[in-house]
A and B are shown apart, each in its own frame.
Chain A
């Protein structure tokens, strides 16, 4: 009997389909060669030390995955084993995939994340602003280890004015979530600070697990005091990071976010001082320019010189006035002398002095012609010195 290829494969297929154990089977193995096709179907190989099993997960099943399968991940796949007649190969038709070990944690993480997100614990509207200058900072972490020292060192360097209150807790192990959540509630109940930092240094996902605990997440959410989460290194993101008011990449980063930098503030202070001094200098300069302008006027620059000037002018004027008066006086005297001389020349006494005489009639009329006098009349003859009473004897008319 000769089978065609199809007949052979279909025969084997029917054979396998008839084995109930292969219809509902759990297979444990490590994922390799994981591929997600544009069709939405996922293809991968499950392997252990000595063997490999081809697997397919159809789109509908793959969409329900709570984590993203990755190569190297240890998983338990559930499904049925059947033959794919086209390739003549059997494979696991996987309907569920669950992670083992770290994988389980991933699943739990995603589950809790989805649940809390749905409840609104990550709601940005719920996030509280941090105080700019915290007075007291509660640090909820292990009192041993680098994280607390990094934080204290940076807080001290940046802003030593903030008092630090350490609430020591275990940050890994089964007791850790309860202790962290308890410390968060305690800090709120007694209002020990106005800012909380909680976190720890880096480690494996198991080490950081306390910060993926629901109790811690809820305690952070219910805290009235703003909370900065500071778990592990940059790429590690925990549930606490989603709930916290501010997520810091590392404990050191949390300290930087918590307080201002005093050096920066000192610079700002210096700048404010410079601005203040400069604006006052500007004002003073403007005022002094105005003053200078006024002061340049001579009156204000040298008031005495101004007065002296006026005094000189006054003296000069006075002198002028005096000499003017003197001149005028001299001129007048000269004129007077001239007039006096003229007057003297005209005086009849002067003529009489030269031997002339003046004759007057008895009534005082000056006799200018012989006919003015009568014979026998007494006339007065005025001489240069004294006078004569004369009688007219004879008239000689011309």
Chain B
């Protein structure tokens, strides 16, 4: 399952902190950089692509919630 935006952002912050500290070996830091770049892209895509979903909830016959499209009554 894809990681949530929150988890991705937290990992990215970790990576940036590690890179800024600068004590990782070159190969390791390149790996971190690569991972960080991927996270930036993933998070950016999450921010760009999202489309709001709105549903109306009503009580079904058995009491369980039933979702239906929300149509503006305005």
| B interface with A by C-beta (< 8 Å) | 4-6, 9, 12-13, 15-16, 19-20, 22, 26, 29, 33, 36-37, 40, 43-44, 46-47, 50-59, 64-65, 67, 70, 72-74
Contact = CB atoms under 8 A, between A and B. Distances in A.
B73 A144 contact: yes
Contacts of B33: 276, 280
A282 B58 CA distance: 58
A342 interface: no
Given A160-B52, A269-B9, A280-B19, 13 more contacts: A146-B74, A159-B50, A161-B5, A161-B50, A168-B56, A186-B65, A266-B47, A273-B36, A273-B37, A276-B16, A276-B36, A283-B19, A283-B22
A82 to B, nearest CB: 60
A104 to B, nearest CB: 33
Contact of B55 (A132, A160, A165): A165
A143 interface: yes
Nearest to B59: A186
Given A143-B70, A144-B74, A272 B16 contact: yes
Interface string A239-281: 0000000000000000000000010011011001101100110
Contacts of B70: 143, 164, 166
A268 B6 CA distance: 13
A379 interface: no
Please provide the 4 A-B residue pairs with the shortest distance between their CB atoms, ordered closest to farther. A160-B52, A156-B52, A160-B50, A144-B73
Interface string A356-390: 00000000000000000000000000000000000
Contacts of B53: 163-164
A190 B52 contact: no
Contacts of B6: 132-133
Given A269-B40, A272-B40, A149 B74 contact: yes
**Max count, chain A CB within 10 A of own CB: residue among B16, B46, B50, B64:** B16
A137 to B, nearest CB: 10
Given A143-B56, A143-B70, A269-B40, A192 B16 contact: no
Contact of B54 (A152, A190, A265): A152
B29 A280 contact: yes
A107 to B, nearest CB: 35
Given A165-B57, A272-B13, A276-B36, A155 B52 contact: yes
B26 to A, nearest CB: 7
A235 interface: no
Nearest to B36: A276
Nearest to A263: B47
Contacts of B55: 163-166
